[in-house]
Structure 1
C-alpha cells in the first residue's frame, strides 16, 4: 500500500507539527508514508475567490505530485473537500467549455484516492484505538467542510473516545461555523470575528483544557479568538492528540 501525505499550505507554513504528527501516527500503525516534494497548494483559496481558470494548473500539479499512490492522506477536511468535491466540478466545466477532457480525467484520477485523516484511519485501516495517550479534558469542534461536505460524522469523536486518559466533553453549538470560512474572514471581518467570539465562549464554557478540530485553519481562527478573550483553552489538531503516547508526549 503506497500512502502519501498531503500536508496543505497552512500546515506547511504555520503548523508543521501537525504533519509530523500524522507521520508519527501512521508509522506507529505500520503504514509507510511518503512525502512528494512536488506538492503545493490544492487551489482552494483561488477557487473560493472565483479564480477558476487560475486553479486549473494546481489541479494538474496535484495529480502529477500524487500520481501512483493508493491513498493520499491529509490532516485537513477543507483541502480534502476541495479535491473530492470541487476538482470534478472544475474538470466538468473545462470540458463543457470545449477545452477537452484532460482536466476532467486528471481530477477523476485523484478524487477516489484522497482521504481526510480520520476517514483513512476508520474506513481504510479499520482502527479506532490508535494507541494514543492524552490525559486532558478535550472538546471537539466539527469543521464545516468535514461536517457538511465530507460527512465525517462521528469518526473523529470515535477516535477521541478511544484515547487513553482523554475526557471528551460536548461543545454547545458544535455544528455552528466558527466564522473562519477562508477568505470569508477577510471579506467579512466583523461577522467572522463575531462568530468566532461566540464559538470561543462556548468552548471556554465547557471547562475543557483543549479544543481540537480536523482543520488547522479553523483551529487558527478559534485559537486566536480564545487568546484575545484571555481563555486558558489550548487549540490542538486532532492528529497531534492521536499521535501522543505515554512514552513520547506531544
Structure 2
C-alpha cells in the first residue's frame, strides 16, 4: 500500500524473519469476546510471528475521551512499559491501536523522555488487519466461509489508521465468501465508546440507520474489526429481531466460527 500520511504509514526499516509480537488484547475482547483474541493469535502465528501476551490493562481511551488526562497518562505509562522489547504491538481493534498511535504523544508532550518512549511504542503499534496486509504482506489463511457478508468500516480504523482496503483484500481470499457492500458503510455506527453512554438517544438514532443498511444489503453476516462497534450493532439487530449474525472479521479469517455470534441467544439448556 502506498504511503498515505496516516500514523500507520511509519514502520521499522527492517522486519525480522519471525517477528516477536506483543498482542494488545483490548478490554472488550478480554471481558466480552475472548475468541477474537484467540483468533488473532492464530492468524499472527500462521503468518509467521511469535506471539506473546504480556500483562496489560486498558489503552486509556475511555479516560482520554472523558477528559481525564491524569488517569490516561498513568494507564499509558503501564502500556508503554508492558510492551517494551517487542518488535511489534498488534491489536484486533482500530480504536485501541489508534489511541496508542495518534494520541499517546500528546499525553507526554511536556516530558521529552516520556514523549520519546511513547513515540517509540506508537511506531511499533498496528491494528491486526493493517499489520497482516501492510507489514507482513500476508493474506492467504486458507479460510472458508459459506455465505454473504457485509462489512462496517469502523471510525477509528478508517479515519485514524487508513484501514479500508485491507479487510477487503483479506476477505477476497476466503473460499465461499461473498462480500456485499452495504450503503454508507463508512458512516459511524453510533457507539463511540463513552459517546453511546453520554448521548444515548443520538447513539440509538445513528445505529438504527446503520442496522437498516445492514438489513438492506441482504447479507446474512455482518463483520467489522472493532468489538465495540460490533456489540452496538449486534445488540440493535437483536432487539429489532433481525436474523443477521455478527462477528469480528478475525474469527472468520481464522476459521473460528463455532462460537455463537455476538449477541446471539445462548443454546438451550444454558443460561
Give the shorter-chain TM-score range.
over 0.9
Alignment of 1:1-250 (within 5 A): 1-37=19-55, 39-92=56-109, 95=110, 100-244=111-255
In structure 2, C-alpha distance between the alignment counterparts of 1:24 and 1:129, rounded to whole Å: 13
Tell whether the 8 Å contact from 1:4 to 1:72 is kept in structure 2 after alignment: yes
| Count of residues paired in the alignment | 241
Deviation sequence 1:76-116 (CA, Å, 0-9, x none) = 00000000000012122xx1xxxx32321221120010000
Unaligned runs of 5+ in 1: none
In structure 1, C-alpha distance between the alignment counterparts of 2:44 and 2:94, rounded to whole Å: 18
Match of 1:138, SS?
strand
TM-score by length of 1: 0.93
Unaligned runs of 5+ in 2: 1-18, 260-271
In structure 2, C-alpha distance between the alignment counterparts of 1:75 and 1:109, rounded to whole Å: 20
Q: Give the equivalent residue in structure 1 for 2:269.
A: none
Following TM superposition, the consecutive aligned residue runs of length 4 or more in structure 1 with deviations greater than 3 angstroms are none
Deviation of 1:249 (Å): 5.6
Tell whether the 8 Å contact from 1:60 to 1:106 is kept in structure 2 after alignment: no
- Aligned-residue CA RMSD in angstroms? 1.3
Deviation sequence 1:191-248 (CA, Å, 0-9, x none) = 1001111101110111111101110000000000000110100110011011017xx8
Deviation of 1:129 (Å): 2.1
In structure 2, C-alpha distance between the alignment counterparts of 1:127 and 1:27, rounded to whole Å: 11
Q: Give the equivalent residue in structure 1 for 2:263.
A: none
Deviation sequence 1:152-196 (CA, Å, 0-9, x none) = 121111111111111100110111110001111011000100111
TM-score by length of 2: 0.86
Match of 1:134, SS?
strand
In structure 1, C-alpha distance between the alignment counterparts of 2:72 and 2:82, rounded to whole Å: 16
